[in-house]
Amino acid sequence: MPAIITQPLLFCYLIFGFISPKSFETTNRHPFHLSSTEINYNTKESTVEISCRIFTDDFEAALAKNYKIKADLSAESKHKAMDAYVKKYALTNLALKGNAKPLALNYLGFEKDNEAVIVYLESEPVKGLKKLETTNSILYDQFDDQSNIMHITNNGYKKSSKLDYPDRKLNTDF
């Protein structure tokens, strides 16, 4: 009886033993592609403050694809080198118009937060923000099922919306 058991086990080992466990993994670490962007109008400074939360693995893949680099947003030793690519990507894929005028965005930096990266930006001053047009195409170059959640706050008024690929524009009146 032991010879009968060992032969099928040997056969299974020979067939499945050469397949690594990694080959059973999917290429995506999570089943959804999502980013979250918080936009707050600072009435005291008259600036728009922006923070974008993006899954690290998705963001690194987008940076690698767009800039032909090996992106690593987790390593502290590579933070300064990655900063330039994060800035370029953020300013290419996020734009604002305040009261129908384009707003220049200043990149402030990024930080790693668990499985995400948070990118910080701030607009030039805009007095009395009454209308905000946001263009957000973050990770649209990476996934055709990307969704970007938008939370916009101005003087206590908060509006939340979702932009699903290929929609990239959101108009908010206050």
State how far Cα 90 lies from the chain centre: 9
pLDDT at 31: 77
Quote the CA–CA distance of 49 and 80 in Å, as a whole number. 22
Q: Is residue 142 part of a domain?
A: yes
Task: Provide the whole-model pTM.
Answer: 0.81
Give percent above pLDDT 70 in the chain: 83
Number of domains in the chain: 1
Q: Is residue 51 part of a domain?
A: yes
Domain range for 47: 30-173
Q: Is residue 117 part of a domain?
A: yes
Quote the CA–CA distance of 104 and 147 in Å, as a whole number. 24
State both tokens at 61.
């893949």
Quote the CA–CA distance of 126 and 42 in Å, as a whole number. 10
Q: Is residue 22 part of a domain?
A: no
